[in-house]
Amino acid sequence: MAEVGYFSLILALIVSLYGIIAFLLGVRKQNPMFLSSAKNASLAVALLCTVATGIMVFYLMTGEYTIKYVYSYTSNDLSVFYRFAALWAGNAGSLLLWLLLLVWYTVIVAYSKKTQHLTPYASSILLLNSAFFLFVLAFLSNPFERVSGWYPGTYLADGAGMNPMLQNPGMVFHPVTTYLGYVGFAVPFAYAMAALITRNSDDQWIRVTRRWTIVAWLFLTLGNLWGAQWAYIELGWGGYWGWDPVENASFIPWLTGSAFLHSVMIQERKNMLKVWNVSLISITYVLTLFGTFLVRSGVLTSVHAFGSGPLGRYFLIFTVFMCFFAGVLIIFRYDLLTQDHTFESFLSKESSFLLNNLVLVGMAFAIYFGTIYPLISEAVRGVKVSVGAPYFNSVIAPLGIVLFLLMGICPLIAWRKASWRNLVKNFLWPALGALVVVIILFVSGERKIYPMLGYATAFFTMATILLEFIRGTRVRHRITKEPYPLAFIRLLLRNRRRHGGYIIHLGLVIMLIGIIGSNNSDIQLTKTVNFGESVEIGNYRIVYEGLYEKQNGKKDIVYADLLISDKESGKLLGRIEPQKVFYQTTKQPATEVGLRSTLKEDLYIILSAWEKDGTATFKFHVNPLVAWIWIGGYILIIGTIFALWPGRGSQAGSKYLSKASYPTATNLGEGGQVS
């Protein structure tokens, strides 16, 4: 069946090239037969890629170790859970998954009945992407390649097994969601290029791809969130984000994608920023390809990378080609994209959204520069100079504070030109509250400028969001006489897109609080102790009671028994068992951290080393507020799903306003609409 899988990829490559030609000929000659044939070709490509993927999954599940990929990433002792996840554990399999997602996205676009004048071009661009991945899989990274020395009748009893660091639930969810995000951004890019090719300068392509963009952003958000959780639990270094090149590669397009989602609102509302929006979605798409290049080229060291090889060169060529393609189109259609409207005032929603965009893109550029600087230094000076967390933290911290400040201002400031009365009404109390936060922190002993500004900004933004909910609920209650809880729920349902955005911002603010706390108030201690000795860190007393060994299947586990109690009261808080797990397939043990997590802080313990006499060395971390990063992240996800969820809620419109004289949106300012 391996030959069938490989032949499916070859045939899919041929059919995808035919589909591109058929789409373009169908449009040029206005021939429905060509267009119909091209749609069928895109479906045939999807089916062929599904066959190839299905065969690979079958081999992984049944342990066909004569297939090099199966041998490299699975073994007999691997659970079904991870056998399936092995599909994306390596280079060829992950590309196969990427391709599978891309071709089915292409089918959805090709058979879409919306904007049929754009669909053939968009489908062609997506098929071009598919053809590239098929070329790579067919000629550079064949997933069905046999092990060296194989001949018919050869049988291998076991495989090399999966990397221990990958044997974590994060392995199942993080890569898939990241790929869904990466691939998803190809759709709005394809439609944007189609609009340029057909000389359509309106915002139709934006309306068609809005859900595609939000879904892609949602999955990329999940990918980053679950990746951080995975690193926190599995890598055993005490943190969740280390500014690793591959981490950065997925975060940078998230930033530019976020900028795009905000700036399209201005084009929809004011018919402005057309060049900016097309450029943003092009940059976001190209950055997803650049991230793939980083993972597979081996040019930068990363624990997440697949290693070096010839693939990086081809991905770089394709990335440069698509960047050139988009750039040329934007230049030649620049006259169509110039805007008729201009900004009327700096104090307006339009200006605040543009400033928001500039900050997001500035953050993306700063991270991008820091990520590729080792390559630049090696090319110029011959020495690869690494860029560490201090650079990223020092650059991103001030930009992040500005970004969150704008997050509180943008939704509530008026379009065109805001009045000072509007500004005072919406922002006076949140600003005073933020000032009180700074004073309280200063009095309590905090002297670091960024934590104080960060907490104050978080309070300001959260206050503006909550005040907006309160005002809207009160107005709806006055108009409809609904109970406050019902008025609040129906207020949210009436405008899912707007209030879903508020929930997203609220989640981001909560994440900010967790990030500030965990990065500026953490405590670390490394100590070697004997049986019965205790260690004090933060508010904890930790007693080392023993070192034990156990076996779980074919894994040998060495673990320490630690008794945790409150240092002041002596109250028993429980036990923690940090572990080192030894696998038969590798000499390097995996770290399983001991973790006690509360809303206040995490007690995070790593078993580093031990001696024959039982003495052991531990790394102790007290990480404040980490739980709020995950809570805020899931609130963000809920807000995104809420904004996407179809359906209409109860409405309170003009029919209520004739019954009584109640405050209206105008009285409340820009943010207080009953809608």
pLDDT in tens, 268-278: 777 778 899 99
Specify whether 9 is located in the same domain as 128. yes
| Residue that terminates a domain, selected from 166, 182, 212 | 166
What pLDDT was estimated at residue 313? Answer: 84
Specify whether 574 is located in the same domain as 617. yes
**Worst-scoring range by mean pLDDT, 337-341, 386-390, 436-440?**
337-341
Number of domains in the chain: 3
Specify whether 4 is located in the same domain as 134. yes
| 668 pLDDT above the threshold of 50 | no
Specify whether 500 is located in the same domain as 644. yes
Specify whether 9 is located in the same domain as 137. yes
> Is 179 part of any domain?
no
- pLDDT bin (cut points 50, 70, 90) of residue 665 is very low
| 383 pLDDT above the threshold of 90 | no
| Residue that terminates a domain, selected from 139, 166, 193 | 166
| Residue that terminates a domain, selected from 166, 182, 207 | 166
Specify whether 516 is located in the same domain as 528. no
- pLDDT bin (cut points 50, 70, 90) of residue 658 is very low
> Is 493 part of any domain?
yes
> Is 349 part of any domain?
no
- pLDDT bin (cut points 50, 70, 90) of residue 662 is very low
Q: Averaged over 664-670, what is the pLDDT?
A: 33
Specify whether 508 is located in the same domain as 617. no
Residue 533: strand, helix, or coil: coil
Q: H helices then E strands: how many in the chain?
A: 22, 10
Q: Averaged over 496-508, what is the pLDDT?
A: 92
Q: How far is CA 157 from CA 57, 65, 79, 602, in A?
A: 18, 7, 16, 43
Specify whether 482 is located in the same domain as 574. no
- pLDDT bin (cut points 50, 70, 90) of residue 552 is confident
The boundaries of the domain holding residue 455 are 396-520+628-668
Find the angle CA(287)-CA(291)-CA(297) to the nearest 5 degrees: 135
The rounded percent of the chain whose pLDDT value lies above 90 is 59
| 344 pLDDT above the threshold of 90 | no
**What is the side-by-side order of every strand in the sheet holding 616-624?**
523-529, 616-624, 601-610, 594-597
- pLDDT bin (cut points 50, 70, 90) of residue 633 is very high
| 664 pLDDT above the threshold of 70 | no
> Is 208 part of any domain?
no
| 36 pLDDT above the threshold of 90 | yes
Specify whether 405 is located in the same domain as 502. yes
| 532 pLDDT above the threshold of 70 | yes
* Alpha-carbon gap, residue 253 to 250, rounded angstroms: 6
* Alpha-carbon gap, residue 294 to 252, rounded angstroms: 13
- pLDDT bin (cut points 50, 70, 90) of residue 630 is very high
**Worst-scoring range by mean pLDDT, 205-209, 251-255, 278-282, 372-376?**
372-376
| 562 pLDDT above the threshold of 80 | yes
Specify whether 564 is located in the same domain as 658. no
**Worst-scoring range by mean pLDDT, 173-177, 251-255, 296-300, 602-606?**
296-300
Q: Averaged over 306-326, what is the pLDDT?
A: 83
- pLDDT bin (cut points 50, 70, 90) of residue 384 is confident
Residue 551: strand, helix, or coil: strand
What pLDDT was estimated at residue 340? Answer: 58
